[in-house]
Amino acid sequence: MIKMSLKTKYFKPIQSALIIQRACTVAFSQVSQSSGILNLRHLFNIFSTIFILFFILSCSTSKQISRNANIDENLGPVQLKWHNDMEYLELNCNFNIKAGDNDASASGKFILCRRDSLSLSISGPFGISIGKLFSRKDYFLFYNTYQNEIYEGTPTVENLSHAVRIPLSYSDLVALIRAETPESALIFKESARDKDLGTIDFKAKNASNEDVFVKLNNKNSSILEYSRRNSEGELIHVTYTTYFKISGFYRPKKINIRFPQSEVEIEIIENETKINKKPEKPLSFNKPDDVPVKRLE
């Protein structure tokens, strides 16, 4: 089978080259007979043999490059990645929140230091403080200034949902605000691509055995959609729209986070964005002594 495939692969190039060689040899033999130049005929045979080898290698190499190329000329190279060089991210934003039939609006500020820590301050109408959050990977502190109570504990999905009413873990919240995947980019595999829209879809299984889907804008490697699903249905669906470029990074003007099973939707609209500007003071805050603390493990 190997010999047959090699013969088929190279037969036409070899046949074409041999025809050229024989035609040239006949023509040169006529010239050599009239001129008596025999040594030149020997040199010509060497030259024509080199030509055949070059012809074969050229055909073989061009086919090999075409077969092994992993860059689509229409879409270009693709890379689903984290923004490791984004050290600090500060967002002044508005929130539009829907929970069932209830709507609410607020303003706030996110400050993120890499993926290590974050702070969030939330204000209602007339700038009245509603609450402020500080969190690391292993600890969170939330001061509900509206109800005058404090929660602290481990920033799991259950705890942050109970305290802040956001059903996300710390790692989820940080990654989605940074417009990244909470999961490592290495676990994703390409599942589809749309050349007309310039988008590429990825899918993966995360550590919780949930199906994860990502839609990527191939032109600037920005995430357009992120969603997770388990056996009971879709858990979360995030869309990023109206991207703009700032400090060498692409940022979405709007982030829409939906939780279909709990009928909660949060829209975050960025009004002011600062990247890699180091915060002037620590993100954490001191707990008031006269406010009761509820510990969530």
189 vs 41, more confident: 189
Asked, for residue 78, whether it belongs to a domain, the answer is: no
* Tokens linked to 114: 């890499």
Q: Looking at the structure, tell me whether residues 28 and 93 fall in a common domain.
A: no
Asked, for residue 264, whether it belongs to a domain, the answer is: yes
Q: Looking at the structure, tell me whether residues 53 and 166 fall in a common domain.
A: no
Question: pLDDT tens for residues 157-177?
Answer: 999 999 998 889 999 999 999
Question: pLDDT tens for residues 5-21?
Answer: 444 444 444 454 444 45
Q: Looking at the structure, tell me whether residues 55 and 93 fall in a common domain.
A: no
Asked, for residue 277, whether it belongs to a domain, the answer is: yes
Q: Looking at the structure, tell me whether residues 30 and 122 fall in a common domain.
A: no
Q: Looking at the structure, tell me whether residues 37 and 121 fall in a common domain.
A: no
Of 10, 15, 20, the residue nearest 45 (C-alpha): 20
pLDDT at 69: 31
Amino acid occupying residue 253: K
Of 84, 101, 110, 87, the residue nearest 255 (C-alpha): 110
Angstrom distances, CA of residue 106 to CA of 86, 98, 112, 213: 26, 12, 19, 30
Asked, for residue 184, whether it belongs to a domain, the answer is: yes
Domain housing 38: 2-62
Question: pLDDT tens for residues 186-230?
Answer: 899 999 999 999 999 999 999 999 999 999 998 889 999 999 999
Q: Looking at the structure, tell me whether residues 164 and 198 fall in a common domain.
A: yes
Q: Kindly report the CA angle at 19 between 16 and 20, in degrees rounded to 5? A: 90
Q: Looking at the structure, tell me whether residues 132 and 237 fall in a common domain.
A: yes
Q: Looking at the structure, tell me whether residues 95 and 225 fall in a common domain.
A: yes
Cα separation, 130 vs 120, in Å, equals 11
Q: How many domains does the chain have?
A: 2
Task: Give the CATH number for residue 240.
Answer: 2.50.20.10
Q: Looking at the structure, tell me whether residues 40 and 111 fall in a common domain.
A: no
Q: Looking at the structure, tell me whether residues 213 and 127 fall in a common domain.
A: yes
Asked, for residue 45, whether it belongs to a domain, the answer is: yes
Cα separation, 122 vs 127, in Å, equals 9
Q: Looking at the structure, tell me whether residues 184 and 276 fall in a common domain.
A: yes
